[in-house]
Amino acid sequence: MGKKRDKNKKAKRKDACQHDPVAPGADGDAEGKIPKKFYEAELRRLQIELVKMQQWIKARQFKVLVIFEGRDAAGKGGVIKRITQCLNPRICRVAALPQPTEREKTQWYFQRYVAHLPAGGEMVLFDRSWYNRAGVERVMEFCTEEEYREFLRSCPEFERMIIRSGITLIKYWFSVSDEEQERRFQARLEDPTKRWKLSPMDLKSRDRWVEYSKAKDEMFAHTDTKQAPWYVVEADSKRRARLNCIAHLLSMVPYTDLTPEPIRLSPRPPQHEGYVRPPITDQTFVPNVY
């Protein structure tokens, strides 16, 4: 009888994970934690849909451009990683441009980004983009007032040109609270595998929260257009942000399931009778440390 009760309790807990994505808990946000089991199952389901979308993009020669912007430590990289995890890098690629070279600084501002736009059958994810000029360059005074104002005038027209060319443009802004950003900064300092993520620029931006907020508001006022709106992702909960963003991305592409039928492998042919493997001592192996 006791074992039966335990089984019933486990079944109820499993059912709760499947149907209650916001069960109480601590995930760095007041609303509660998405259960890990539910999160992993839902992420798996969404990643399968991403593979279907990838097949459709390739078959239909569709062009998708996704921009990820937001606060430092807002979780952009984590979402990008989960999107690309199961996809073909020849179809879905990430563009994360470094600082412009001296030559690139003399070019038309958008010029170096144009080379990374998707061709037919491709999806490109921009891990930060031309919006650097409206964010870090504006706040840190890396550009002049004239250059900044010209960007705000030119950007909407540039994006309309992209859309008219046949590219589907999707823009995400990851929003994170001051308290959560500080918690993530501290966590990165404590973790040797994540410490590299804290650049000197990140540390400087930490002291300019209000300036970045004002710059973001000004950017939205000029570039949150009907043709290319900003979609804000609430990112205090990483799990929730990842699922919400991926689900929304899937809804923005009118894909259908073009998954090919499973392939049935024929029996492997027998090894050639005349083949003799070379001696193992002739090869250099990686040491078995583990």
- Among 119-123, 205-209, 231-235, name the one with the lowest average pLDDT: 205-209
Identify any residues that bridge with 94 across adjacent strands, giving them in sequence order. Answer: 125
pTM for the complete prediction? 0.84
For residues 231 and 194, the model is more confident at 231
pLDDT band per the 50, 70, 90 thresholds, residue 18: very low
Judge whether residue 26 has pLDDT over 90: no
Query: What is the band of 27 on the pLDDT scale with cuts at 50, 70, 90?
Result: very low
Cβ pair 57, 255 in contact under 8 A: yes
Of residues 194 and 134, more confidence is placed in 134
pLDDT at 186: 87
d(CA 36, CA 58): 33
Query: ∠ CA(247), CA(248), CA(252), 5° rounding?
Result: 120
Percentage of the chain lying above the pLDDT 70 cut: 88
Residue 88: CB atoms within 10 A of its CB come to 12
Region 35-100+108-255: CATH code:
3.40.50.300
